[in-house]
Each structure stands twice: as structure tokens, then as C-alpha cells.
Structure 1
């Protein structure tokens, strides 16, 4: 191998490593708290919500869906999901059945009373870290850029 070829490969290796390592470090630093997000959320959000009727019967899914439709009048319920740790149903709604994600709204409802569950007020550090970790607040271009950094790391 010629010395000039060796210098080019050495320079290429050095700079691709430095650039990709910076983004890999960002992914490691933001990813670690995300692994423990349940534990950190319980510490950061110590305001424990309690169901209205802790020992009462659970409302049917149709009743919760009706409450959600009344809560967001003019919107169509799109999805329902369940909270594992508490009697809460999350209902995602939007202006139309084929609404894009940015137009959708998620609301949580108490399954014992049908009342909306209060959300977290203010800045949420875990949401910030998740957005930074997945797409660096750039959406699809950010995801593609992080994928390109992964390929650069392989080079």
C-alpha cells in the first residue's frame, strides 16, 4: 500500500469515527434514562392519581368510548389502549378517520367513573429525551440522518 493511500484511509477512518461517535454518544446518553422511564416517571411525577371508585366496577369499553366522544365533540375516536398499572383507558381521536398523526389527540379516562384523568403539566423530560433519541426533533429526516450515522460507524 502506498503511503498516500494509507494517509487517505487513516484520515477517512479518523473523521468518520469522530463524527459517528458523537452521535453514538448522544444515543447512549439519551437511551439510558429511557430504559428506566417507568421508574424515573414515578419519581419525577410523584402526584399519584387515584381512581374515583377504587373498589367499584369497571365501566364497559362502550361507555368509555361514549365519554371520550363527548369529551372531544366533533372528533372521531380512532384508537383505544389500556394502562397496565391502573384502571385507565387511553382514547386517541382525530377530526377524521384518516387524520395524520399531528392532528390526533390522546386523552386518558378513568375506567371506574369515565372522568378524564389529569395529565402531566409542564415540561416532561422523558418526552424530550425520547424525541431527541429517536429523531433529534426532525421527524423522518432526523431518523434517516441517525441511520446514516450508523452506516458511517460501520465504515
Structure 2
């Protein structure tokens, strides 16, 4: 690799790193508690648990559960309903002023067996809510998500350019060498390169999946336009189904599960919401295996007649989105994977912090001895690298 090519790669690496590093630091810091979101919920006392009952206690009708939820907030409509991931005896019902997407929502936790209200947790406030919003969209909605997606793209550029630069810059040193007897700046540069190499694959995977996740809203809207619009032709000109005219949701759920056997419910999107149509109750079902439990199968059921309209297969881009979301937070392998994710996250924080230190302190190179300064300039051609 000639000197001009190295300079070009160094420029790309330096500026892609500098632009994204502060935001990547923010994402790593906010992502750390999110890795342990269930454990943090128990620690903060926000987790809801269903009371112990005899195994096999029958569940109440979903229609009764929804009726109880509506009675808590009669001025609101049910947007979504879902079973707790770890407890089949617990329903969470989300209620909003209108079916349209909004941050103004109320959640009602209901015992699936007795249809009694257990709690009304506030998921839109508190420490974990702030961490999630900062991590997902910086409290800026879709523009914030797309901005963070662009920062993720710059991170991938910085990683690729860093790999290209590492070999020629470190050709005289063994991998992982940390020159402890040299000046502080060179020791930090060696540590930066060492941890960067250790976290390379993980950071690329997390950065890529995070970038994909920022496209979720646009991907869903495109899916609705591209594949669901044809299913809405028979309903053209009809208003959203009023609550009084809707059929049994329990019967609709049973029909959906019969259409796709060996699955369990992930969540229900009611008519007019972002994940459904104005005329359907859409049931999102998932498999029972570790991998298939992350994939969803939508079943659209006519809200009036409780008859199935369609069960379309999700396109590849939504499948990629569903796979990337749990991988991003280490949700595939239980606690061992969460711990590994957390350790790599901490290592990445050190990489990003040392990159900032190297860039902010580059002016001190000129005051170092000539030989060391020349070496430092060569090795620090990618100051600020993540």
C-alpha cells in the first residue's frame, strides 16, 4: 500500500471516527443497562409478576381482559395487547387517546386467569425509559432514529478503514503489543488498537444491527404499502370499525392460532394502529424455538366477522429486522450472552474514550522527541478511531 493510499484511508478513518465517536459513546453507555433490562426492572421495582396459582388454572376470555382494561381508561382506545415474554399468565394492554402512534400511552397489567388488574406500570417515565429513548431516537422520533442510523454507518466505515490501516501501521509490532515503557500517548494508542481488534467483529455486528433497527418504521410502512394495500381493496371507502361493531377478539385469536399451529402470541395490533389496518385485528404469532421465537407471522382477522383475511409471510427485509433486534441487545443466549455483551460493551467504551483522548491530545506530539513523534504520527494517522 503506497503512502498516498494510506493517507486517504487515514483521512476517511479519522473523520468518520471523529464525527460518530461521541454518539457511539452515548449509545454504548445507554445500551449497557438495556442489556439487563429485565434485571434492571426487578432492581427498580418496575417488573410486574402474576400471583402464584395452581398449574393449569384456566385463563379468562381475552374479551373480558380487554373490557377490564377499557374500564380503567374509558376515554382511551386499546392500541396493543401482548402476553409477557416470561409469564403466560400476564397480559399487558396499551391504551392511547387515538389509534395513531403516540408517546401518550397507558399500560394496564392484567392477570390472564382472573382478569383482575395487577398494576398500571408507567413505561414512559423513569431511568430505563430515558436510557431507551436516548438509545433509540434521542427523544427526536423518526429523525433521531435516522440520524443515529447515519452515525452507525459512519461507525462501520471507521471499522473497515481501521482494519485496512492496522496492518501497515503495526507491521513492526506483534498483535496486542502494549509498549508500557513508552510515553502515555503511545501506550493508550496500543491499548486502543488492541481492544479495537478484540471487539472488532462484535462492534461491527452491533453497529450493523443497530443501523438496521433505525430503519424499522420506514420498513414497516413500506411493507404495508407494498403488500398489505392489495388486501385492503375490498374495504375501500369503509370507515374504521367502531368498537361496538367488532366481533369477539378471543374467537379471532383462536382462529389465528388455528391458522398457524405450533405458535404462540407475541402481540395484537388493533384496527387503525401502526401495525394493522383500519379494518383488521392483526395477530403477530411467533415460534416456540429459540430462533423462531424472534420471527413473527402476522394473521389479519376481519374486526367485524372474526374471519381470517390473510396470513402473509413477512418479506426478507422485515425478517432481517426481527433477527437483528434481539442480536443487537444479546437476547439470544440468556444471561451468559448478556454478560459477554456487557463486557464487550465496556471494552468498546474504552476504545471510544481512548480514541477521543488520542485525538484531543494530538497537539502534544510536536513536543515529543523527533523519533517518537514521527512514530506517533504514523501510528496515530487514525486518531479518534473506534
TM-score range, shorter chain: 0.7 to 0.9
Specify which of 121, 124, 127 is matched with residue 119 of structure 1: 121
Cα deviation, residue 85, structure 1: 3.6
Cα deviation, residue 17, structure 1: 1.3
**What is the rounded CA distance, in whole Å, between the counterparts of 2:122 and 2:95 in structure 1?**
19
Unaligned runs of 5+ in 2: 159-386
Equivalence for 1:108:
109
Per the normalisation by structure 1, the TM-score is 0.75
- Provide the aligned C-alpha RMSD in A: 3.3
Cα deviation, residue 13, structure 1: 3.6
Pair 1:45 & 2:45 matched: yes
CA deviation string 1:32-65 (max 9, x = no partner): 22111111221221887553x7446532211111
Per the normalisation by structure 2, the TM-score is 0.34
Cα deviation, residue 116, structure 1: 4.5
Q: Secondary structure of the residue that 1:128 maps to in structure 2?
A: helix
Contact kept, 8 Å, 2:83 with 2:92, in 1: the verdict is: yes
Report how many residues are paired: 152
Contact kept, 8 Å, 1:110 with 1:117, in 2: the verdict is: no
Equivalence for 2:23:
23
Equivalence for 1:69:
70
Unaligned runs of 5+ in 1: none
Q: Between Structure 1 and Structure 2, whose CA radius of gyration is higher?
A: 2
Equivalence for 1:82:
83
Q: Structure 1 pair 6/144, CA: closer, same or farther in 2 (3 Å)?
A: same
**What is the rounded CA distance, in whole Å, between the counterparts of 2:75 and 2:130 in structure 1?**
30
**What is the rounded CA distance, in whole Å, between the counterparts of 2:10 and 2:48 in structure 1?**
56
Q: Secondary structure of the residue that 1:80 maps to in structure 2?
A: strand
Cα deviation, residue 125, structure 1: 1.5
Q: Secondary structure of the residue that 1:74 maps to in structure 2?
A: coil
Worse-matched range after superposition: 12-21 or 118-127: 118-127
Q: Secondary structure of the residue that 1:59 maps to in structure 2?
A: coil
**What is the rounded CA distance, in whole Å, between the counterparts of 1:78 and 1:142 in structure 2?**
24
Equivalence for 1:133:
135
Q: Secondary structure of the residue that 1:92 maps to in structure 2?
A: strand
Contact kept, 8 Å, 2:106 with 2:122, in 1: the verdict is: no
